[in-house]
A = this chain, B = another copy of it.
Amino acid sequence: MAGRHNDLTDVAGIRVGHYQRVGEGWLTGTTVVLSPPGTVGGVDVRGGGPCTRETDALAPGTLVEVVHAICLSGGSVYGLAAATGVTDWLGERGVGLPVGPNAGEVAPIVPAAGLYDLRPGAFDCRPDVAFGRSAAEAAARPGGLGPVALGSVGAGAGARAGGLKGGIGSASVVLEGGVTVAALVAVNSAGSPIDLATGELRAASFLLPGDMSGLGDLRRPEASDVAGAAARLSGVSPRVGNTVLVVVATDAEVSQPQCTRLAMAAHDGLARAVHPAHGLTDGDVVFAVATRSTPLASPQATSSLLQRAGTAHPAALGGLMAAGADAVARAVVRAVLFAEAVNGVPTYRDLYRSALTSVH
């Protein structure tokens, strides 16, 4: 069952903020996730064209296990500047690893990644340091605790999914035992989230009750829509840069290396929702964070692996990993469904009107 907001903020303490500029050549933005004290983080980079910052610090076995914020941004390599804004903003507030003899001398850990949305916006209109500060401030306001705005906002403002408008999606699930796992995605994929032959969203079968919130019900679109959309999308030329950026969050009490496993597993949700995924022109990255406030329930069945002190039961961890991957697939579907048309990039709802029943 989905959580209260059905988004990343269903993990207690997680805050999300968007900032974007649209119009006068601008069509890009930044999304910041702020995590509570003690949050551990891992990362898995599987795209062939990654654009990242502070990922080496998250390798298992390094000095750093915690994450203070994650910054997702448009603007390709230029957009990594937004992470500096988040780092400065946190440092000014004394949030970070203590690294000096005096109070407030901290080094905030802000892993970040960029996606390529330099078209359809103007090439020189891209996120800078101020975008990161603004998105962090948005996350710190009461609204940062959710619900998270979805669609053409934040890092998803200028995003595209194949030939369709992409954007921000999110979803959550509460597991037996009370653990919550959620995903937030910025979908800007080279591959398509739909099966052009049927017009169906590839990961529609993973949706949970509530995932369609307010959009009506999803059904197989009519042949006329399928033919019209196929014709429209076949004319879209491929881009040099793409990328799906993902943040998976959970309150489960898992270790930093286990968090890295959670990030690795989450890529499977992307594989189910987008085809093809993880291409050479995609910089697909999954960050996973765990606030560690809720024990991960252990099945009754004993196992020698249970003896490993301080680690979650393999079966329970496996369930968390699978649920995280499913949350990613659902979040991708929701990103595409909630996207709004901009600069002539069509949305799924525009091209497949018959796929959505009218809302009563």
Residues of A near any B CB (own CB < 8 A) = 45, 48-57, 59, 61-64, 76-78, 80-81, 83-84, 87-88, 91, 96, 98-102, 104-105, 107-110, 116, 118-119, 123, 129, 240-241, 280-281, 285
Contact = CB atoms under 8 A, between A and B. Distances in A.
- Taking each of A56, A81, A118, A241, which has the highest tally of chain B beta carbons within 10 Å of its own beta carbon? A56
B78 A87 contact: yes
B99 A241 contact: yes
When all copies of this chain in the complex are counted, the total is: 2
A51 B57 contact: yes
B119 A100 contact: yes
Contacts of A88: 78, 81
11 contacts: A48-B61, A51-B54, A53-B53, A77-B87, A77-B108, A81-B81, A81-B88, A81-B129, A101-B119, A104-B123, A105-B123
Given A62-B280, A81-B129, A118-B105, A76 B99 contact: yes
Given A57-B51, A84-B81, A76 B241 contact: no
Given A55-B56, A99-B116, A123-B102, A49 B62 contact: yes
A240 B100 contact: yes
A280 B63 contact: yes
A99 B50 contact: no
Given A76-B99, A99-B116, A100-B118, 13 more contacts: A48-B62, A49-B63, A51-B56, A52-B53, A77-B96, A78-B87, A80-B83, A81-B87, A81-B129, A98-B240, A102-B123, A104-B123, A129-B129
